[in-house]
Amino acid sequence: MRKFRWVILFFIGFWGCVKVNAAAPLDIGHACALGLTQGITEFLPVSSTGHMILVNELFLKSGTDYLGKVLNSTQLALNHYMVCIQLGTLGVLLLFYRREIRKMLAGLMGKNNEGLRLAFHVAIAFVPVGLLGFIGGDWIQMHLYNRSCVLAAVFVGGIFIFFVENYRKRQQVRWTLDNMPIRVALGIGLFQLMALWPGFSRSLATIVGGVVLGMSLVQSIHFSFLLGLLTSTVATGYKFLKSGSEMLQQLDVVSMLTGIVVAFVVGMVTIHAFFGYLKKKGLGIFGYYRLGLTVIFTIFAK
């Protein structure tokens, strides 16, 4: 029971946020729920974006003034905020991978060859999703940020987890962060394109890519998180520069900052708990979770 106390605390906190929700585009309760969701799901192969879309729908439907009357501008502002709330979990990654980041920065300044190699591989892996996300990001938010698309992605991602767990039992590990070739980095970047489907999970896509291409599960996760640091930084920065004024006009600034802080605090707990669990149990439980979540929302959500 003690192993799952952080999960229990999450659900208690989440439903507490739901209860204090007021009929507003983004109040403190709404922001805390999104922050809790982002913090606990960002580092798990379950899709933080997909979960936040589902949570966001719960709040929009529980606010009587917005029941069936959500303005497009308000919904778009909330969609943009669900990208920018990643600032909280970006802070977690900066602390968790501070040694690797210093190593890569030293490499970029010509002082560490291994760091330069790692930075180059992360940049190469980012290129595919960076290009396609820039071209089609707005279309994705307009057409795929809904329950049906998310639940389909959650289900397919669960199947992928079972595939990875079966595959890695007989795989031959060939590559680590230090010796992986450019083609592996690029291949992981191509796998990351699956993450543009909201609900699939960016971390799951890159973890699958790393394992399939010959990395161990732990090494794949480390590369996935380093790649996620770059991907999320670019996505958040671009979204804020493009739509920051719209968010500030439509949403409460204090609530926005609160959600980011909550995401940071919860994310710090989650990332340590995830690696502790992973070393003993693997990813299988997250596959069952994704399938179960699909069934629950399909049956009970209206």
Contacts for 20 with CB less than 8 Å, ≥ 6 apart:
27, 28, 29
Distance (Å, whole) CA 244 – CA 80 = 8
Percent of the chain with pLDDT over 90: 47
The alpha-carbon radius of gyration of the chain (Å, integer) is 19
| DSSP reduced 3-state for 177 | coil
pLDDT at position 67: 37
pLDDT interval class at 116 (50, 70, 90): very high
Give, in order, the Cα–Cα distances in Å from 282 to each of 159, 168, 287, 288, 291.
15, 10, 10, 12, 17
Token pair listed for 169: 């039992």
pLDDT at position 287: 93
Mean pLDDT of the chain: 84
Classify residue 72 by burial, with Cβ atoms within 10 Å: 0-12, 13-18, 19+.
exposed
Contacts for 53 with CB less than 8 Å, ≥ 6 apart:
82, 145, 146, 147, 150, 198, 199
Give the burial string for 192-220 (b: 16+ CB within 10 Å, else e).
bbbbbbbbbbbbbbbbbbbbbbbbbbebb
Length of the chain: 302
Average pLDDT over every residue of 167-189 = 91
pLDDT at position 298: 82
Convert the pLDDT of each residue in 231-276 to its tens digit.
889 888 888 888 888 888 888 889 999 999 999 999 999 999 998 8
Phi, psi of 215 (to 5 degrees): -100, 155
215, β-bridge pairs: 175
Instruction: Indicate if the pLDDT at residue 60 is higher than 70.
Output: no
175, β-bridge pairs: 215
Contacts for 79 with CB less than 8 Å, ≥ 6 apart:
141, 145
pLDDT at position 63: 42
pLDDT at position 128: 94
- Please provide the DSSP assignment of 180-210 as one string: --HHHHHHHHHHGGGGGSTTS-HHHHHHHHH
Distance (Å, whole) CA 69 – CA 90 = 33
Predicted model pTM: 0.82
N- to C-terminal Cα distance for the chain?
32
Residue of higher predicted confidence among 169 and 125: 125
Token pair listed for 99: 């040694």
Instruction: Indicate if the pLDDT at residue 295 is higher than 80.
Output: yes
Residues 183, 209 contacting (CB under 8 angstroms): no
pLDDT interval class at 279 (50, 70, 90): confident
Give the burial string for 259-279 (b: 16+ CB within 10 Å, else e).
bbbbbbebbbebbebbeeeee
